[in-house]
Chains A and B, each alone.
Chain A
Amino acid sequence: MSNKKYKLLQGNEACVEGALAAGMRFFAGYPITPSTEIAEISSQRLPLIGGKFIQMEDELASMAAIIGASLTGLKSMTATSGPGFSLMQENIGYAAITETPCVIVNVQRGGPSTGLPTSPAQGDVMQAKWGTHGDHPVVALTPNSVQETYEYTVKAFNIAEKYRTPVILLMDETVGHMREKMIIKDPSEIEVINRKKPNCKPIEYIAFKPDKDMVPPMAAFGEGYRYHVTGLVHDETGFPTNNNEVAENLIRRLVEKIEKNIEDFSYYEEYRLEDAEVVIVAYGGVSRSAKYAVDELRKKNIKAGMFRPITIWPFLEKQIREVGLRAKEIYVAEMNLGQYFLEVERVAGKYCSVKKINKVNGELMTPDEIINSIGGNI
């Protein structure tokens, strides 16, 4: 018998539900609006199931603590917003090069700097990809509803575990704070992936030797596989090296293990795209307005549709190319000055016209604003 539960939750609350369903047992964080509920609820819920919550002294430390906890085998998460996300970049890079699974939630607010702490924005899209220095893999998922926040938090953990990589759940204040009816699924209906463990003897364990899927099995500290972990470029044994060939191979493998497996986590929604000539590309909170705008434009006999990336990084190049080949015009609607637009234009710009609709005043973009931007051009 299925044991689903209907609940009225905020996006931030649903994020914790998803994390717990995925097996989160460790949370470290630092208070910051508009993500704080995620820390508060984690602090209440985790001890009830034997998990651990700690409020660290800052976001640098929060990110470090979840990596440390993950190295002992616990599924770990932190949650923050813009200013904290900036501080976490240092150790997001460390998680990437040491291949330590972890989930980082960024409930985006207006920036730069302290910006608009209680207002929605989508200004961290490029930071999610390029925020930490050096070439590195990034997976970022962008839900647009409370239900999706729950489901994609589970997927974020699964991707982190399967590919040994940090995964960013890129929410925005709209999604984090809105309340909607949602379904908490029966555990039997939720796919939960756990990291690969070594099945060799400790003496035979080569800590960073990848399998054919480019992912090395991961032992936990304390299990008898004594190994070395460093943020320096390292060889398969985990020890630092300046060997140019090893460095090249490592960085390429880290990036390729994500990019070559993109089909495994290419999540998106297509809405009324079949015959669409005008396609709105939107994600997160803005996509809710975009969907409404599509219906209104259709009433005005404009063949409108929407493409909504949920996997925002790596970029869904194949899908966006197809949209570009079929559409006459693409409008990228986002609450920044055109960050995702740059990628859409790069890929689809040679096939159709790509325009941008932007808003950075701290209010959610409305359907009318999208309709008027498009209507004024048609």
Chain B
Amino acid sequence: MNCNSTTKNYYRTEKLPHIWCPGCGHGTLLNAVVRAIEKLGLNKDEVVVVSGIGCSSRAPGYLDFNTLHTTHGRALAFATGIKFANPKLHVIVIMGDGDSSAIGGNHLIHAARRNIDLTTIVFNNNIYGMTGGQYSPTTPYGDFATTSAYGNIEKPFDLCSLAQGAGSTYVGRGTAYHTRLMQNLVEKAIQNKGFSFVEGLSICPTYYGRKNKKGDAFEMHTFYKENCVDIKVAEKDPEKGKNKILIGEFHSCPKPEYTESYQVIIDRFQGMGV
């Protein structure tokens, strides 16, 4: 992991090196998250980073905040308890694709529906990496994994559409190649008072890449470079977006936030009828 002199302050450097494989995109995505936090100047004592289980979920251990590595799929439910109990805290949730949308899919749609002020970041590498390369809900149709030896016959989720459909008030997608975009999206997501969802397309050369002959890390990054189009560009010229991966800010529409709505109830009824 390449941490420059300023972001170093946000890492538990004594916990490095990290466990991620050579070429993994997660470190780059994590650094974008840290740069966003740095840019916003958040007080480290007031930041909580929550994760579930999987490769991505090891990220909080390397960060010098209040950090919580929870059970598989449940990160958002733990984060809901934290944020609701103490709304002053900035709660950032880092999950993987399987973690957030298979075992944790129900928690994702309900946290989004409540519009509770959580910043959710999914490191999507299209595979279960930690357990050795099984297909996930974002593995493309027809692709190979250790549990789809003859090609995946399930259709993948578009995580951003899922989050937006469920009620997320800020939605965007970056990649491990488009790091500056990723950082900007995370910054805006943290600033959005409500449920924010940022998908970071990662790369997994070890399992997804190898199983699907996608080449090494360089080639997988090059794929993102050549095949991602910002939504603004695609909106102006739909031809440019054709058969490409859309990235950028997809949705920003503030709505009443859960903990603030609850505070209105407390303010109105506190002290009555006790």
Report which A residues bind B (CB closer than 8 A): 25-26, 28, 47-50, 52, 54, 56-58, 60-62, 64-74, 76, 90-91, 94, 220-224, 226-232, 239-240
Q: Are B66 and A222 in contact (CB under 8 A)?
A: yes
**Smallest CB-CB A-B distances: 6 pairs:** A68-B81, A65-B81, A64-B77, A61-B77, A69-B85, A230-B69
A54 and B70 contact, Cβ closer than 8 Å, known pairs A60-B77, A228-B60: no
- A26, A57, A68, A231 pick with most chain B CB within 10 angstroms: A68
* A-B pair number, CB within 8 angstroms: 138
Q: A68-B50, A68-B85 are in contact. List 15 more A-B contacts (CB 8 A).
A: A48-B272, A48-B273, A60-B107, A61-B74, A61-B107, A64-B70, A64-B78, A65-B80, A68-B80, A72-B82, A72-B85, A76-B85, A221-B86, A226-B66, A240-B61
A186 to B86, CA, bound (A): 29
Q: Which residues of B contact A71 (CB under 8 A)?
A: 68, 81-82
A226 to B64, CA, bound (A): 7
Q: Are B89 and A26 in contact (CB under 8 A)?
A: no
Q: Does B17 contact A (CB under 8 A)?
A: no
Q: Which residue of B lies closest to A232 (CB)?
A: B69
8 Å CB interface, B66-118 against A:
66-71, 74, 77-86, 88-89, 106-107, 110
A205 to B68, CA, bound (A): 17
Q: Does B271 contact A (CB under 8 A)?
A: yes
Q: How far is the CB of B232 from chain A (nearest CB, A)?
A: 34
Partner of A90, one of B45, B71, B107: B71
Q: Which residues of A contact B106 (CB under 8 A)?
A: 57-58, 61
Q: Which residue of B lies closest to A102 (CB)?
A: B81
Q: How far is the CB of B107 from chain A (nearest CB, A)?
A: 6
A94 to B73, CA, bound (A): 13
- Stretch from B122-130, B223-231, B261-269 contacting the other chain: B261-269
Q: Does B236 contact A (CB under 8 A)?
A: no
Q: Does B270 contact A (CB under 8 A)?
A: yes
Q: Which residues of B contact A67 (CB under 8 A)?
A: 78, 81
Partner of A69, one of B82, B266, B274: B82
Q: Interface residues of B, CB < 8 Å — how many?
A: 42
Q: Does B48 contact A (CB under 8 A)?
A: yes
Q: How far is the CB of B87 from chain A (nearest CB, A)?
A: 10
Q: Are A56 and B84 in contact (CB under 8 A)?
A: no
A94 and B107 contact, Cβ closer than 8 Å, known pairs A49-B274, A52-B84: no
A72 to B107, CA, bound (A): 20
Q: How far is the CB of B55 from chain A (nearest CB, A)?
A: 14
A68 and B77 contact, Cβ closer than 8 Å, known pairs A48-B272, A239-B15: yes
Q: Which residues of A contact B82 (CB under 8 A)?
A: 68-69, 71-72, 221
A202 to B130, CA, bound (A): 33
A60 and B74 contact, Cβ closer than 8 Å, known pairs A48-B272, A239-B15: yes
Partner of A61, one of B12, B60, B110, B270: B110
Q: Does B46 contact A (CB under 8 A)?
A: yes
A58 to B104, CA, bound (A): 12
Q: Which residues of B contact A25 (CB under 8 A)?
A: 85
Q: How far is the CB of A85 from chain B (nearest CB, A)?
A: 16
Partner of A222, one of B12, B69, B70, B86: B86
Partner of A48, one of B85, B86, B271: B271
A26 and B81 contact, Cβ closer than 8 Å, known pairs A49-B274, A222-B86, A228-B61: yes
